[in-house]
Chains A and B, each alone.
Chain A
Amino acid sequence: MTRVRRDERGVALVLALSFMVLIGVVTSALLSSLISSVNQRGVLDGVRNRQYAADAAVEKEIARVRALGSGGAGSAPCAPASPIAYPLNGVTIHVDCTNVPTLTRTGFEQRNVVFTSCIDTGAACTTGNTIVRAQVNYEGQGGGTPTITKTYIQSWTVTR
């Protein structure tokens, strides 16, 4: 058996304490990672709720604009109530809508509208904060103020 020299006393304690500290650090890191991932999950839930709120707001705007009497390429598609803010899933979504150039023929009216939605800040949506952008074609028949007979979703983009 190797003799323990007097000046080595306490080394085992130091080693044991060091090992416990190491285990403590590893455990803390593990728990920290776990807590972080669960919190991130909550953030992603918020993103999902926001996307579906924006989706719902655009759907509401599409239906509302369809009901408007104004038709044709030159009409104001969102008048008189735009911009509109819709609360859903704990967030309020702002929707802008703008006309895009449309070819119009007598007896067969077309109206293309681009809807952009974002978190409501009281200002117009920008490319940086747009959540859903949709281009919709409203087709109606009859001159003057046609009745909308069909609605076509030409594009639907979820950007963030």
Chain B
Amino acid sequence: MNRTERGDTLIEIIFAIVVIGLVVSSITAAISTSVNGSTAHRQLVTGDTVMRNYAEAVKTAARTQCTSSGATWTAAYPAPGLPLGYSVNPLAGQACPNVTATAPVPIQVQLPNGTAKSMNIVVRTP
């Protein structure tokens, strides 16, 4: 080895280790953020589907069960049921509105990460 090159190898190795460490850290952080974001996004998309399914089930329940004055309607989430970790607000024994009126119904969906999404719809006695 040439005398003028003494120490270069050690510095290069240390520098390379630092660079590799930074790059690995960056990639790990990016992948972690991406995975977390993707999970949150998937939950939001599934939550939207759950909310639409439940809203349609509620409207159908009122339309099919409100056949006489004084009747009540009860909605259930349609088969095959809620995805694991999701929940909706129960709607049982709800009074049917008069045929010339509507009734507001709040729809709430709880996501697995604890986030709650809500929307309002109305139901009508046919």
Contacts and interface: CB of A to CB of B under 8 A. Distances in A.
Contacts of B99: 63, 66, 151
Contacts of A123: none
Interface in A15-50: 16, 19-20, 23-24, 26-27, 30-31, 34-35, 37-38, 41, 44-45, 48-49
Contacts of A151: 99, 126
B1 A1 contact: yes
A52 B48 CA distance: 13
Interface in B1-26: 1-2, 5, 8, 12, 15-16, 19, 22-23, 26
Interface stretch (A54-62, A107-115, A125-133): A54-62
A11 to B, nearest CB: 11
What is the interface residue range for chain A against chain B? Answer: 35 or more
A63 B100 contact: yes
A59 B1 CA distance: 89
A38 B19 contact: no
Nearest to B45: A41
A81 interface: no
Interface of B: 1-2, 5, 8, 12, 15-16, 19, 22-23, 26-27, 29-30, 33-34, 37-38, 40-41, 44-45, 48, 51-52, 55, 97, 99-102, 104, 117, 119-124, 126
